[in-house]
Amino acid sequence: MQVTVSIPDEFAAQIKSRGRSVEAYLRGLIEADQIGAGDGLRRLRPGPYSPEEAGRWIRTTRAENRLGSGTIRELIDEGRK
């Protein structure tokens, strides 16, 4: 099935600035919706995963979840304040 979606240029630019294509971003949203348990958590489907699938999921999750622009050392120092 093919679906045509109109996305504002500004939103598409934000996605691309994070190093992802719009297609990959939307595919990730759809997969997360299918995989998720409806509780807002992103879960993997049960069963064995190939190293490539596990690595792809880890890289995607890591790219989507950032604590800001600080370095690890800055975050540690901030936590000590």
Collapsing DSSP states into helix, strand and coil, what is residue 42? coil
Q: Which residues fall within 8 angstroms of residue 67, CB to CB, at 6 or more apart?
A: 75
Q: What is the mean pLDDT of the chain?
A: 77
Percent of the chain at pLDDT > 90 equals 1
Structure confidence at residue 37 (pLDDT): 47
Q: Which residues fall within 8 angstroms of residue 5, CB to CB, at 6 or more apart?
A: 26
- Return the higher-pLDDT residue of 39 and 7: 7
> Taking the model in full, what pTM does it have?
0.40
Q: For the chain, give every domain's residue range.
A: 9-80
Structure confidence at residue 42 (pLDDT): 53
- Return the higher-pLDDT residue of 79 and 47: 79
